[in-house]
Amino acid sequence: MKLHSVAAILAFTAIFTIGTVAETVPAFSQSHSVVVGTRINNGHRIRCAEGARLLRMRGFRNVRALDCRGSHFLYRADRSRRTYDVTVRARDGRITNVRTVRWRR
């Protein structure tokens, strides 16, 4: 009787494990909207490195700090095959300006 209970538990565990491993989850892409007025740090003061990290979390790549002096931080970052200058207010982490960079040849 004891051997039967152990076998039943092992069989249930194996079926449950295979069922959860075989379950597929559809892939999807998250798109974070970044417009003027977006708060990237829930209204809290940020430092220069935190601003760069928060922009990366919002979908920007190759984030570089251009100017982190004063009340606003300026970053240059890539997103969707374009390069942007993003200005973030240090006091509350609000994006105050997003500008596409146009390269001169």
HSE value, Cβ hemisphere, 13 Å, CA-based, for 27: 0
* Confidence grade of residue 76 (pLDDT, cut at 50, 70, 90): very high
AA identity, residue 49: A
pTM of the prediction?
A: 0.66
Second-level CATH architecture of 48-100: Roll (3.10)
| pLDDT at residue 43, as a whole number | 78
pLDDT, tens digit (0-9, with 9 covering 90-100), for 45-65: 999 999 999 999 999 999 999
Q: State the Cα–Cα distance between residues 60 and 62, nearest whole angstrom.
A: 7
What the block records as the tokens of 30 is: 């998250």
Cα(23)–Cα(25) distance, integer angstroms: 7
DSSP bridge partners of 100: 84
- Are 99 and 84 in contact by the 8 Å Cβ rule? The answer is yes
Domain range list for the chain: 48-100
Beta bridge partners of 89: 72
List pLDDT tens digits, range 3-48. Answer: 567 777 777 777 767 655 555 656 544 555 677 777 777 878 999 9
